[in-house]
Structure 1
Amino acid sequence: MTELMAGPFGTLIFFVPVIILFYFMLIRPQQKAMKAHQALVAGLKRGDTVVLSNGMIGKVTRVEADQAMVEIAQGVNVAVVKQMITQVRDRTAVAANDTKTIAKS
């Protein structure tokens, strides 16, 4: 048995499981996350509340090919690269900067 491990195939027998483990533990989950992020960016539409990579939260006002216009405060729009959008929040959530008065009767 030790003669088998000492030859050139012994090294191969050791590295093949390590490479397979490396693939299933690191590469495959990263590919799945990348595909999910691409689908998130592709499905971006006007009115979505998004979280940017720097932590800012805003509402999408315009979507272009590789950029999106995001309103981060009332009347303040910034152009961001769509890849920098990390999360799309629930569309029904109301942004904190929306100041709507409720008529009391």
Structure 2
Amino acid sequence: MSLISNAYAADAAPAGGGFEMLIMLGMFALIFYFMIYRPQAKRVKEHKNLMASMGKGDEVLTSGGLVGKITKITEENDYISVELNTNNEIVIKKDFVTAVLPKGTLKSL
């Protein structure tokens, strides 16, 4: 006499299981698109428009937190010269500008 009962295989999975899985994958793809990809693409487009609209004399904020006025733009290399004050001028890539500030911001700081 054995104390262990016999094990029997369960019935096959119900029909339609693969279709439900496809619906779930489709829903995850939609969530990914609307919550991650689309907002990021919008931010990239806005940043490209910002870089294209910069001009000499604009007051800018860099990603490093520096505030200054653009004195020179080199179109071929995508670099700009930013004057921090009358004695200091730096050269940075256009990509590192996070915002163009309203005129007169430097005088108010």
What TM-score do the two structures reach when normalised by structure 2? 0.79
What TM-score do the two structures reach when normalised by structure 1? 0.82
SS in 2 for 1:3: coil
CA pair 94-26 structure 1, distance change in 2 beyond 3 A: closer
SS in 2 for 1:22: helix
Larger Rg: 2
Partner residue, 1:27? 37
- Structure 2, gaps ≥5 residues long: 1-13
Partner residue, 1:70? 82
Residue 95, structure 1, aligned to residue 106, structure 2: yes
Contact 1:59 1:71 in 2 (8 A): yes
**Structure 1: 4+ residue segments shifted above 4 A:** none
SS in 2 for 1:80: strand
Identity in percent: 31
Shift of 1:94: 4.3
* Alignment partners' CA distance in 2, 1:94 and 1:26: 34
Shift of 1:9: 2.0
* Alignment partners' CA distance in 1, 2:85 and 2:108: 6
Partner residue, 2:4? none
Contact 1:73 1:97 in 2 (8 A): no
* Alignment partners' CA distance in 2, 1:77 and 1:97: 20
Q: Deviations over 1:33-61 (max 9, x none)?
A: 10000000011101111000011101100
Partner residue, 1:16? 26
Q: How many residues align?
A: 94
* Alignment partners' CA distance in 2, 1:73 and 1:19: 50
What's the RMSD between the two structures over aligned residues? 1.8
